[in-house]
Structure 1
């Protein structure tokens, strides 16, 4: 049973239950979802051959999704952002705020004009951020120089003294 990886043999729940019953998996080592699945089983068994439900999906686009798409389409070189760090705003959030601010101040501008001006605002802000980053770099270099003499010295170790009886 454990050698099979086909979803057609059974559901993941039935395969995991089989592994637990056979002793291949200890009860203490069961997956986190196993207890939740047992407490709240689905109405219909999740099998591969079950037909998809005939439902209409809701469109869940927000107003700023269009701005995000436009920003990321034109700026593909952007790196990833840390979603768990709420201390700093992402570049996309800063762009949307700048765009909204310009839009409220100048409603006569076109989308393209607002986009260009928002990008210019971000670049100006980034120059200010880069200056503070340069200060941090220069401080770290000064610290490295101050402690550099100690880190460059290599300790003198004699292996014969270590292995003496």
Structure 2
């Protein structure tokens, strides 16, 4: 590098600019942000010794945050959350949705609504888990029967060259 790597001796822009001027970096190899920075430089140069601005940070608070915190405090979650899969809702999202639906239908005491929502969520998760397990069992049965059917010829005998061990099929 043509200059020091210390942040106290210039910004990244001045260092890249110095490399280009010194010939250590070709102008064609400049970073993507370099042209943007030269076209729209900041009002104040970003330096290490400039004091941070004294601005008050506003609290972001949503109405369902209290309910969410109460839910997380009461129930210990053991589900794996995949943030990349947006099609599937988390248990907390399902709970908030149930709670909000109950709240709009009958505005009762918050504690009763919370208890009812927890019970409904438990029932819903129980139903979906039994449905998933029965679907998985059906898939395995279908897969095994298809494999077995493919290994037989029209008369019901094993096709030549196909070895099917029935005990192996049912041991899994």
Gaps of 5+ in 1: 153-165
State the match for 2:63 in structure 1: 63
**Separation in structure 2 between the aligned mates of residue 4 and residue 114 of structure 1, nearest angstrom:** 63
State the match for 2:24 in structure 1: 22
Deviation at residue 26 of structure 1 after TM alignment: 6.9
Gaps of 5+ in 2: 152-161, 165-172
Deviation at residue 126 of structure 1 after TM alignment: 1.0
State the match for 1:161 in structure 2: none
Q: Which has the higher contact order (CA 8 A, sep 6+)?
A: 1
**Separation in structure 2 between the aligned mates of residue 104 and residue 53 of structure 1, nearest angstrom:** 43
Scaled by the length of structure 1, the TM-score of the pair is 0.64
State the match for 1:141 in structure 2: 140
Contact 1:103 1:109 in 2 (8 A): no
Deviation at residue 46 of structure 1 after TM alignment: 1.9
- Once the two structures are superposed, residues 59-92 of structure 1 have per-residue CA deviations (whole angstroms, 9 ceiling, x without a partner) of 221111222222333334343232552x333322
Q: 1:84 to 1:50 in 2, by over 3 A?
A: farther
Aligned length: 148
Scaled by the length of structure 2, the TM-score of the pair is 0.62
1:71 counterpart SS class? helix
Q: 1:133 to 1:23 in 2, by over 3 A?
A: same
State the match for 1:94 in structure 2: 94
Contact 1:99 1:118 in 2 (8 A): yes
1:22 counterpart SS class? coil
**Separation in structure 2 between the aligned mates of residue 133 and residue 43 of structure 1, nearest angstrom:** 58
Q: 1:19 to 1:139 in 2, by over 3 A?
A: farther
Deviation at residue 51 of structure 1 after TM alignment: 0.6
Q: 1:80 to 1:46 in 2, by over 3 A?
A: farther
CA RMSD in angstroms comes to 3.7
Deviation at residue 53 of structure 1 after TM alignment: 0.8
**Separation in structure 2 between the aligned mates of residue 139 and residue 114 of structure 1, nearest angstrom:** 37
Deviation at residue 124 of structure 1 after TM alignment: 1.1
